[in-house]
């Protein structure tokens, strides 16, 4: 059977990695969509359609043209503090668009593979399994949780893949990430402040893309936690970045989250137990050391943010 896959957010970090994995496969017809022009360096083996999440007519047309077997929904308003200060836009992109896409999936018998976040949890009891009780601390987390509930109650065949603290590099990224930011700042001899009271499992974008592909090809159903396998504080992560690229660690100052005055509250300790994904999807994330080595190789090959 040939799969006809529509991907949203194909200009994003996860989206771009998924295009590399899904394009040019005989058993897959890929339609990549994102806002504005295609920023992916790979041009062949798939079709690109510029499509805003709110363009309901455009979405109706593309579902009618393609009759997708699967929708992989990575696009979202991902800036957490922006969601906290602009609830209306956050709701439109992260909740209402999901409800609309789910209704199209219902109409066309399309599977909905939805990407979600550790920020649905309050960070008091990490690492979390898929069965843990969500309790979001900020507006972004609340919106992503509503989206999860919409997908689950939509009557479509669905899988929800939750992830956290993505890092990696692709040409022409939408935004930077903690690894690239720390590396660049320290290379420029800038003093940086990093929190020592938030713990995460940093996730290599290639690993999440591979896990997503596995979920699609295995017709996985239900919720899966897909993150790196190592839990660490943000400051430990930044120290490892400094070690990897032999940068000056004296430029790093550890601070507490409360001193940052960010609009959105962050959960202190999330982290995932990834056993279900390891067992059912054969998900095998790289270690942080391996992930940083891959990023280093890609940067040496000329990939820049």
Residues that bind ligand NAP (CB under 6 A): 9, 11-15, 34-36, 52-54, 74-78, 93, 115, 117, 163-166, 174-175
CB nearer to ligand NAP: pick between 4 and 17: 17
CB nearer to ligand NAP: pick between 16 and 248: 16
SS (H, E, C) 194-253: EECCCEECCEEHHHHHHHHHHHHHCCCCEEEECCCCCCEEHHHHHHHHHHHCCCCHHHEE
Residue number with the shortest CB distance to ligand NAP?
12
Q: How far is the CB of 251 from ligand NAP (least distance, A)?
A: 23
CB nearer to ligand NAP: pick between 2 and 304: 304
CB nearer to ligand NAP: pick between 86 and 251: 86
The residues, any chain, with a CB within 8 Å of residue 121's CB and separated by 6 or more, are 128, 132, 134, 135, 136, 141, 267, 270
SS (H, E, C) 268-289: CECCECCHHHHHHCCCCCCCHH
Residue 121: CA count within 13 A, CB half-sphere: 25
Q: How far is the CB of 175 from ligand NAP (least distance, A)?
A: 6
Decide if 123 contacts 137 (C-beta within 8 A).
yes
CB nearer to ligand NAP: pick between 45 and 50: 50
CB nearer to ligand NAP: pick between 69 and 163: 163
Q: How far is the CB of 76 from ligand NAP (least distance, A)?
A: 4
Q: How far is the CB of 82 from ligand NAP (least distance, A)?
A: 11
Beta bridge partners of 204: 167
Q: How far is the CB of 249 from ligand NAP (least distance, A)?
A: 24
| Nearest residue to 293 (alpha-carbon basis) of 211, 206, 181 | 206
- The span from the CA of 9 to the CA of 80, in Å, is 17
Q: How far is the CB of 233 from ligand NAP (least distance, A)?
A: 16
């Amino acid at each position: 059977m040939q799969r006809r896959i529509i991907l949203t957010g194909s200009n994003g970090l996860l989206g771009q990695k998924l295009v590399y994995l899904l394009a040019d496969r005989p058993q897959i017809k890929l339609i990549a969509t994102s806002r504005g022009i295609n920023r992916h360096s790979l041009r062949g083996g798939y079709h690109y359609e510029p499509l805003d999440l709110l363009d309901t007519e455009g979405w109706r047309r593309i579902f009618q043209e393609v009759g997708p077997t699967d929708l992989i929904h990575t696009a979202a308003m991902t800036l957490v503090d922006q969601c906290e200060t602009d609830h209306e836009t956050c709701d439109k992109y992260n909740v209402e668009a999901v409800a609309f896409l789910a209704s199209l999936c219902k109409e066309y018998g399309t599977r909905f593979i939805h990407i979600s976040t550790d920020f649905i949890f309050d960070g008091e009891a990490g690492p979390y399994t898929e069965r843990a009780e969500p309790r979001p601390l900020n507006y972004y987390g609340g919106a992503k949780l509503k989206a999860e509930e919409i997908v689950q109650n939509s009557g479509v065949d669905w899988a929800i893949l939750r992830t956290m603290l993505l890092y990696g590099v692709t040409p022409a990224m939408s935004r930077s990430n903690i690894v690239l930011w720390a590396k660049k700042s320290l290379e420029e001899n800038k003093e940086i402040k990093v929190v020592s009271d938030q713990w995460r499992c940093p996730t290599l974008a290639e690993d999440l893309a591979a896990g997503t592909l596995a979920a699609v090809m295995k017709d996985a159903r239900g919720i899966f936690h897909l993150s790196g396998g190592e839990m660490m504080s943000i400051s430990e992560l930044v120290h490892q970045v400094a070690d990897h690229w032999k940068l000056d660690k004296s430029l790093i100052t550890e601070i507490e989250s409360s001193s940052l005055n960010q609009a959105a509250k962050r959960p202190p300790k999330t982290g995932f137990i990834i056993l279900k994904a390891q067992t059912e999807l054969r998900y095998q994330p790289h270690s942080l050391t391996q992930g940083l080595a891959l990023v280093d190789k890609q940067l040496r090959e000329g990939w820049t943010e």
